Structures are given as C-alpha cells and as structure tokens.
Amino acid sequence: MAEQLKQILVDGAWRQNTGLVVLLGLCPLLAVTNTLINGLALGLATMLTLMVSNLSVSALRGLLRPEIRIPAFVLIIASVVTAIELLMHAYFYDLFRILGIFIPLIVTNCAIIGRAEAFASRHGPLPSLMDGFATGLGFCITLVLLGALRELTGHGTLLAGAEMLLGDWGSYLTLTIIPEHPGFLLAMLPPGAFFGLALLIAARNALQADKIKRPARPFSNLSRDKLIGNTHET
C-alpha cells in the first residue's frame, strides 16, 4: 500500500505533472502566475479542490452509473469550488480580489475532471485522496516556479504580497533580489507566461533526459527514442 501511494505521488507530481507534461489547466496557469504568491494561492486552492473532489468521487463511485458520471463529476467539482470561493472571500479577502475570476474558473480546469474520471472513479478513497494531493502538488509547484520566474524577471522581487496569504507579518518576507529593478514588462504580461512555461517544460525535459539516459549504454541513440515515447505517454 505504502509503495502504491508513493508511486501515485511520483506520478502525479513529477512524471505526469499537469502543467509541464499533460499540459492541462493552462488558462489559470498562464493568467495568475505574475507573482509567486498569486501562483501559490491558486495552486493551493486547486490542490484542495482536487483532493476533495477526488475523495467525493471515489466515495460515490459505487453509486455512479456510467451514463451520468460526467454531470455528477461536474456537480461535485462545482460545489467544492464554490465552497472554496466563499471561504476565500471570507478569510483571504485581498487574495480573493486579486485571483478574482480564476477561483470560480477552477471548475473548468480539465485536470480536475480528468483525475475524477481517470483515477478517482476507479480507486478507493485513500489512493484517490493521494492522487488528488499529488496532482495538486505538481500543479502548485509549477505555478509557484512560473510565478517566481516572472516575478523575479519582471519586478526583481520574490514573495511580494505574502501578507495577503499569511497576515501582516508576511510583508517582511518580501525579498528584493534585484534592487532598483526598472520592471521588465514582457515578463509581467501574458507572453512572459508562455516564455516562462516553455523554459520550465524544457528544464523538466532536460532533467528527465538525464534520468533516462544514465542506465542506457553510452553512445546509444536508443535512449533518445525512449525519452520521446516516455514524455508523451498518458
């Protein structure tokens, strides 16, 4: 069991990372990652949604009939997201104002219905919860990395606006990495998100390539073919 859970974690967070490999949920991924904190907040909200929706779908999977499973998933996910939206509105008001429309739009993140269909409806509650956590973690890490990259190049800071997530003391966390940064507009606007995501995908592929090449014989072209097959499998 422990081995299975570990495998789920690795699969969700790394091997089939939603943002970098499966490329689902790109709309929120690209839209809110102008700072690290924004990315982190949406990542956590998405992760929570994934866990609760996976758990609910898994618990109800005995009842669900194939012909109504998709509307049932949508109902469950929409309820969960609306509940999270209300809670954020009440307890993280500043953040809610910034993330605004992207909180309700978590519903449309295909990754969530994808995990409900592909995993939670076929597995028990515990593995499903783990799968939600792992997929959410992978997505959250991608959002945080992309947010950090864009904030650093665009503003020269990191963790700006942490007080919105953590309360007043969070404002001391803001790191000015590049003082007197003139502001790099391209990184802050949507094109910066595409460039940043492309860099992250490339970096992940490079890391993955190392991993796969090592056990293979040196000077072999085989590993490259393997790699291409691996990164595109679903």
Partner 1 sequence: MNGTTHPVIRSGLLLGLIALLGTVLLTGVNALTHERIAEQEKRRVLQQLNAILPAASYNNNLLEDMIEITNEALFNHPAPVTVYRARMDDQPVAVLMAVTAPDGYNGDIRLLAGFDNSGTVLGVRVVSHRETPGLGDPIEIEKSAWILSFMDKSLLNPQAGGWAVKRDGGEFDQFTGATISPRAVVKAVHNALVYFDANRQSLFETDAKKPKRDNG
Residues that bind partner 1 (CB under 8 A): 60, 63-65, 67-68, 71-72, 75-76, 78-80, 82-83, 86-87, 89-91, 93, 183, 185, 188-189
Nearer to partner 1, 1 or 90 (CB): 90
CA distance 8 to 14: 10
Nearest distance, CB of residue 100 and partner 1, angstroms: 11
Q: How far is the CB of 90 from partner 1 (least distance, A)?
A: 4
For residue 160, the Cα-to-chain-centroid distance in whole angstroms is 20
Contact status, residue 178 vs residue 71, Cβ threshold 8 Å: no
**Cα–Cα distance measured from residue 189 to residue 200, given in angstroms and rounded to the nearest whole number:** 17
Q: Which CB atom, from 87 or from 118, has the smaller least distance to partner 1?
A: 87
Shortest distance (Å) from residue 43 CB to partner 1: 21
Longest Cα–Cα distance in the chain: 60
| Residue 42: Cβ within 10 Å count | 29
76 within 8 A of 154, measured Cβ to Cβ = no
Query: How far apart are CB 120 and partner 1 at their closest, in Å?
Result: 14
CB hemisphere CA count around 53 (13 angstroms)? 36
> Nearest 10 degrees: CA dihedral of 225, 230, 232, 234?
150
- DSSP for 81-139? HHHHHHHHHHH-HHHHHHHGGGTGGGGG-HHHHHHHHHTGGGS-HHHHHHHHHHHHHHH
Cβ closer to partner 1: 92 or 139? 92
Q: How far is the CB of 72 from partner 1 (least distance, A)?
A: 5
Give me the least distance between CB of 188 and partner 1, in Å please: 6
Closer CB to partner 1, residue 96 or residue 133?
96
Nearer to partner 1 among residue 79 and residue 231 (C-beta): 79
| Shortest spacing between CB 177 and partner 1, in angstroms | 20
Are 18 and 139 in contact, with CB atoms under 8 Å apart?
Answer: yes
- Cβ proximity to partner 1, 177 vs 189, nearer residue: 189
> Quick one: 7 or 82, whose CB is closer to partner 1?
82
CA distance 85 to 199: 31
